[in-house]
Structure 1
Amino acid sequence: MTDIINLMNDLLWGSILIYLLVGGGIYFTLRLGFIQFRHFGHMFSVLKNSRKADKAGISSFQALCTSLAARVGTGNMAGVAVALTLGGPGAIFWMWVIAMLGMATSFAESTLAQLYKTKDEDGNYRGGPAYYMEKGLGMRWMGVLFSILLIIAFGLVFNSVQANSIANAMNNAFGIDTWVVGVGVALLSAFVIFGGIRKIARTAELVVPVMALAYLVLAFYVMAINYEKVPDVLALIFKSAFGFQEAAAGGAGYAIAQALINGIKRGLFSNEAGMGSAPNAAASATPYPPHPASQGYVQMLGVFTDTIVICTATVAIILVSGEYVPGGEITGIELTQRALSAEVGSWGGIFVAVAIFFFAFTSIIANYSYAETNLIFLEHNHKAGLNIFRIIVLGMVMFGAVSSLPVVWAMADVSMGLMAIVNMVAILLLSGIVVKLAKDYNQQLKAGKLPTFDANDYPELQSQLEEGIWYNKDATKKE
């Protein structure tokens, strides 16, 4: 079984996904006029008014926190350590590259998710890749395929990965048996996910900003007391990314390939750009400004925060600590714990355990919310069916807590890769609509107006959109 999983990983990540994700990121960066660089400041402007919501949707800030809850987890603390161990410091450079390109990809998928969102039976906004595949492309079969992959990946496999890191971190810091941790995490998760999407959003809104800020403050402290090492660390990352460190030994080509593959793999796992996960949260929001593109800007900020800010903080802690050993056996969350303990004392490992607990716990509940949205897309919105699925999710949390790390990570890589392929094909086919929406938004912004989307300006889209969400009846009367 492990051999089959590894074979699929090699096929997906050795060629297909590298070309698709990097190529897609470059494509959207060019078509959107380097939007992630030109409008970098505007992401923060949109965030200023992101607390507004209505009875149908959560606020843009809650949507950002929900997507960050899914993004900021094991990928930022354990995944970075895995990337360093397998790909060397150069892998971090490629994580940065995939994040910067991924910001444009994230803008595209989140904008489309907002445009094609619907309302569920309870009157809440729902949407995501499955919905724009069905409505935008007219390919429900594609949406069904994506939904099944997402439910497997996020509802089941990724939650095992998160639980695995929590259990290992707690075991390393406090000596608690992994199965005991698994039971505790499952019970806490049950308390939140049985409360529905709004409870998930409120929990993420409270926990994520506090823990992210605390982690960053500690990382800046570690860099401040080791300021003389920072230039060397940066030089090491850039040299390793292009094989300069290994050139003398004749292994530059292999080193670059390993850095590239592991950097992209762990970068995507961390920031999720192009994977089709964050759009599920983006679609649940009531955007302000009231235009699909505004959620594109909000979710671009999510990618930047996750990888460029939080992942880099972990990298800095590990590399300045001296705990990183090329080809060493210590990896994952244990390496991050050892690195922080070396800098601030034994309580550093405890802090990482607490941080990974909250980060990974919020990832579990956010991942579940994504899976629930896609279960509803498959027309399984029955309360009994949802409750059965919730119990299965909690079972996977227990499984992850007591399973070995390599198998769980390998399964995560396969499911993530298949999801990304289906989603990237869809957003590339719908790229023309993304460009139109971005131009419309920015033309209104330049004219000094509050960007507002009116479906009447897009007659070619009206038949594809959910009635009563973007369709402006007043505008029709004026005509």
Structure 2
Amino acid sequence: MDAIMKLNGIINGIVWGPWMITLLLGTGVYLTIVLGFPQVRYFVFMFKEIFGNLGKKKEGEGTITAFGALATALASTLGSGNIAGAATAVHLGGPGALVWMLITAIFGMTTKFAEVALAVHFRTKDEEGNWRGGTMYVLEKGTGYKWLAWLFAFFSMFAAFGIGNAIQANSVAEAINLGFKLPHYITGVAIAILVGLVIIGGITRIAQVTTYLVPFMAVFYVIGALMVIAHHADMILPAWSSALKYAFSDPMAMPGALAGWTIKLALTKGVARGIFSNEAGLGSAPMVHATAITDHPCRQGTYGLFEVFLDTIVICTLTITTILVTGMLTGRPELTGAQLTLSAFETVLGQTGVMILAVGLAMFAFSTILGWFWYGDTSARYIFGPKVGPIYKGLWILVIVVGAAGGGGKFLGNIWNLSDTMNGLMAAPNLVALLLLSKELRRLVKDFDAKRKSGEIK
């Protein structure tokens, strides 16, 4: 195991090195220019589409509603990255990491838009009549590189067990233990039963659950964060000013700065944690968006825009703001991750704040397990066919219990590191697909704009 982890460390350093971060951000910038800044042009349309059509039956092919697909995708992206990941970014890179995280998200909106549009455009029905789509189908049908499609599916299938299952199950168990002192293994069994009851119904049942769970958990966490920020309203402007200032100047000049803060770290940690949070460029969310009932790929693409907007620009910003306005970043330099966010909540809300964050973490992580099951299942079926479905479900439930009961330390660290590498390896084939099919994306956008102008799409 030590030899495997040593090799993994080398690969991880390459996968998540400067070249990958540059490629991820660069692809977003390139597509933004090529597609005519869709995150700006469709910003108002995005809100009208999502909130103006709630409860309305849409025309087009698909398995679940467009909002159901969005809720399931958000169930996967809204997770520990929003609470622990965002806190880690400012702990390692200083307040300037917030600015780079937001810049990454702005261009990441276009990347997610493009991923979703291509996934819907190249989706297909499997042997059981369910719509399937994602980077593997885009690569196979759009570029002809089936070997690259297979690699993406392979990396995704294994990344799901770690970053979408064991890590999340452990986060739920830790959060429940933190707030309510319940043993990890009991939480693990309870999660396994609840998840089993949901995934047995496939994507339709997953979408039904996440449609109700995701809005509730997002509002629940946002209200808690706003309560903390409102208590320190006089510190909001200084906090954001320091973030803007130290994104472009030496963070070590900041009073109370931690040793090691640099502009480079602010940039790299902000970009990396922003990508980890919203998953733009990794190719995960398109696998569920491809099942949506829609009449045009770009219409569903606007749901991808909103996904990144809510995940990073709203929720991650609120998390970091609570840390900055409460002074926890420099006041408690020994804290990082979820502990840093927890301390910010606790200073204002006391034990209630601990419980709010505990429940928020639990809901975020639980919903991520549901969403990532579909990603892993889709990838496994692409490689092995529909017969692997029941086997994958059984393994998924088993890993939940093992992940929750395994505790922290070396066990969790190894799972995290391995799955983090697999997660990063997913990005390379996905970015190849986006860049090779940029002309096709431009054609889809022009067609969408023409149909909106003619009134065919409203």
TM-score (norm 1): 0.88
- 1:9 alignment counterpart: 12
In the alignment, does 2:365 pair up with 1:355? Answer: no
Shift of 1:81: 1.6
Q: 1:50 touches 1:60 (CA, 8 Å); kept in 2?
A: no
- 1:324 alignment counterpart: 329
236, 244, 264: which one aligns with 1:257:
264
Amino acid corresponding to residue 417 of structure 1 in structure 2 = G
Residues of 1 paired with 2:258 and 2:178: CA distance? 35
Shift of 1:184: 2.0
Q: 1:56 touches 1:123 (CA, 8 Å); kept in 2?
A: no
- 2:93 alignment counterpart: 87
Residues of 2 paired with 1:327 and 1:335: CA distance? 8
Amino acid corresponding to residue 160 of structure 1 in structure 2 = A
Residues of 2 paired with 1:79 and 1:420: CA distance? 19
Amino acid corresponding to residue 247 of structure 2 in structure 1 = A
Residues of 1 paired with 2:81 and 2:182: CA distance? 23
TM-score (norm 2): 0.92
Shift of 1:445: 1.1
Moved more, 47-56 or 79-88: 47-56
Task: Find the residue that maps to 1:328 and give its secondary structure.
Answer: coil
Shift of 1:332: 2.1
- 1:344 alignment counterpart: 349
Shift of 1:256: 1.6
Shift of 1:46: 1.8
306, 313, 318: which one aligns with 1:313:
318
- 1:192 alignment counterpart: 198
Shift of 1:97: 1.2
Shift of 1:406: 4.2
Amino acid corresponding to residue 261 of structure 1 in structure 2 = T
Task: Find the residue that maps to 1:57 and give its secondary structure.
Answer: coil
33, 46, 50: which one aligns with 2:49:
46
- 1:180 alignment counterpart: 186
- Check 1:88–1:412 CA distance in 2 against 1; reply closer, same or farther (3 A cut): farther
Moved more, 216-225 or 51-60: 51-60
- 2:151 alignment counterpart: 145
In the alignment, does 2:403 pair up with 1:400? Answer: yes
Moved more, 430-439 or 244-253: 244-253
- Check 1:258–1:398 CA distance in 2 against 1; reply closer, same or farther (3 A cut): farther
Task: Find the residue that maps to 1:365 and give its secondary structure.
Answer: helix
- Check 1:242–1:253 CA distance in 2 against 1; reply closer, same or farther (3 A cut): farther
430, 438, 441: which one aligns with 2:437:
430
C-alpha distance after superposition, 1:162-204 (max 9, x if no partner): 1222122222222222233222222221121122111001010
In the alignment, does 2:243 pair up with 1:237? Answer: yes
In the alignment, does 2:393 pair up with 1:390? Answer: yes
In the alignment, does 2:26 pair up with 1:23? Answer: yes
Residues of 1 paired with 2:69 and 2:167: CA distance? 23
Residues of 1 paired with 2:333 and 2:403: CA distance? 24
Shift of 1:56: 4.4
Residues of 2 paired with 1:255 and 1:327: CA distance? 19
Task: Find the residue that maps to 2:304 and give its secondary structure.
Answer: helix
Moved more, 83-92 or 203-212: 83-92
C-alpha distance after superposition, 1:415-459 (max 9, x if no partner): 2211011101111111110010001101221233327xxxxxxxx
Shift of 1:253: 9.8
- Check 1:315–1:199 CA distance in 2 against 1; reply closer, same or farther (3 A cut): same
Structure 2's unaligned 5+ residue stretches are none
**RMSD in angstroms over aligned alpha carbons?**
2.2
- Check 1:169–1:252 CA distance in 2 against 1; reply closer, same or farther (3 A cut): closer
Q: 2:111 touches 2:281 (CA, 8 Å); kept in 1?
A: yes
Residues of 2 paired with 1:328 and 1:252: CA distance? 10
Shift of 1:327: 8.4
- 2:81 alignment counterpart: 75
Task: Find the residue that maps to 1:203 and give its secondary structure.
Answer: helix
Q: 2:32 touches 2:107 (CA, 8 Å); kept in 1?
A: yes
- 2:140 alignment counterpart: 134
C-alpha distance after superposition, 1:203-242 (max 9, x if no partner): 1001000111121122222222211000111022122322
Task: Find the residue that maps to 1:346 and give its secondary structure.
Answer: helix
Residues of 2 paired with 1:449 and 1:155: CA distance? 42
Amino acid corresponding to residue 423 of structure 1 in structure 2 = N
Residues of 2 paired with 1:238 and 1:81: CA distance? 17
87, 106, 112: which one aligns with 1:106:
112
Structure 1's unaligned 5+ residue stretches are 452-479
Amino acid corresponding to residue 358 of structure 1 in structure 2 = M
Shift of 1:55: 8.2
Q: 2:162 touches 2:416 (CA, 8 Å); kept in 1?
A: no
Residues of 2 paired with 1:436 and 1:379: CA distance? 33
Residues of 2 paired with 1:326 and 1:273: CA distance? 33
Q: 1:88 touches 1:326 (CA, 8 Å); kept in 2?
A: no
What is the aligned length?
447
412, 433, 445: which one aligns with 2:452:
445
In the alignment, does 2:215 pair up with 1:209? Answer: yes
- 1:34 alignment counterpart: 37
54, 63, 66: which one aligns with 1:57:
63
Task: Find the residue that maps to 1:345 and give its secondary structure.
Answer: helix
Residues of 1 paired with 2:316 and 2:254: CA distance? 30
- Check 1:7–1:87 CA distance in 2 against 1; reply closer, same or farther (3 A cut): farther
Q: 1:243 touches 1:253 (CA, 8 Å); kept in 2?
A: no
Q: 2:101 touches 2:273 (CA, 8 Å); kept in 1?
A: yes
Q: 2:252 touches 2:261 (CA, 8 Å); kept in 1?
A: no
Amino acid corresponding to residue 36 of structure 2 in structure 1 = G
